Structure 1
Amino acid sequence: MGILEEFGFDLKDLLKIIIILFIDIIIITTLLFVVKYETNPIYQQNISCPIVSKKIVREKDKITYKLNFKLKHFSILNDDHIYITKEEYDLLKKSDEISFIFNTKTKSIRLDEEKFNDLIEELKMKRR
């Protein structure tokens, strides 16, 4: 009697376990590569864009606050706006510069949340 039989496994069960572990390793490796690739500083470029308009969007019971930007030199991007909270909307004014991070490899852009939060805190302090 082999070691597998002692634990109630047969060769088929062992093969299933090995295949599942192999697939898990492939998935985890792929995810780690994607996360590293997306955040690799080599591909990151900081840009600032001015707010060109502020808009309150009312849909039935829902109110959203939208900032629009002029993303010069980034015509490949579709998103030229972000949605923010009412407090942030009240603090920001047209022409304020907002920082973004552009990934040159994936051609994607995202808000630099750290700098945005710093800007909001700075504006709150000025208001007091």
Structure 2
Amino acid sequence: MIRKSSRWFGATLMALVLTATGLVATTSTASAGYPILVYSADPYSAGNGFAIYTNSGIDAAFRACDEGAADGRRTIGRIWWEPVYAKVTLHAANGSGTCSEPYYVRLLAGTRVYVEACERKGANGADEKCRTTWDIVA
């Protein structure tokens, strides 16, 4: 009986030592987010665009990108989040295959963020073929 309880005591002591020194593998509570991406409603062959929030931690970048066939339209990207709802709008206005300058967004983990991509003819045209998505910041 003494031998069994000493083994139990030894195993318990070893577990406490390993845990205290950080040698036991544990799951991490911090995880990198994945990008939040949405495409406009046109197919690539018709000249679409997309908006992307990198969701990579502090100062993650938001961009609007124009891609696909040249169609004379620019891509408009918007981002907003709860509870503010103030929208940031970017233009990818330099033609197909280009993106806007990045806009850096500092959001707290758990914030709901919305990303929208639209197409527009010229700087002052109406937004068309919009799509919106949302996710929670990691």
TM-score by length of 1: 0.27
Q: Which has the larger share of helix?
A: 1
TM-score by length of 2: 0.25
Q: Which has the larger share of strand?
A: 2
